[in-house]
């Protein structure tokens, strides 16, 4: 069990979750990155920058 750093919702990580995996908070929809497994820790994923081109 971990916690969404954005809204505080409890998030259960799948048993096959790996560090660096991205998931979406079911409560607030934020994109989260798994930063550690023992104990589980989540961080808000950096926004993926669009390739705007030149
Ligand atoms: Zn959330």
- Centre of ligand 1 from the C-alpha of residue 29, in Å: 6
Go through the chain and tell me how many residues it has. Answer: 54
* pTM value > 0.75: yes
- Centre of ligand 1 from the C-alpha of residue 11, in Å: 8
Domains of the chain: 2-44 (2.20.28.160)
**How many H-runs (helices) and E-runs (strands) does the chain carry?**
0, 5
Question: What confidence score (pLDDT) does residue 49 get?
Answer: 72
Question: What confidence score (pLDDT) does residue 37 get?
Answer: 94
pLDDT at 53 over 90: no
Question: What confidence score (pLDDT) does residue 8 get?
Answer: 97
- Centre of ligand 1 from the C-alpha of residue 52, in Å: 28
* Cis-peptide into 33, omega within 30 deg: no
In angstroms, the CA 2 to CA 21 distance is 14
Q: pLDDT tens for residues 22-52?
A: 999 999 999 999 999 999 999 999 776 777 7
Question: What confidence score (pLDDT) does residue 27 get?
Answer: 96
């Amino acid at each position: 069990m971990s916690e969404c750093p954005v809204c505080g919702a409890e998030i259960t990580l799948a048993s096959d979750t790996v560090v660096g995996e991205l998931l979406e908070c079911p409560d607030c929809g934020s994109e989260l990155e798994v930063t550690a497994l023992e104990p589980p820790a989540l961080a808000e994923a950096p926004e993926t920058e669009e390739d705007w081109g030149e």
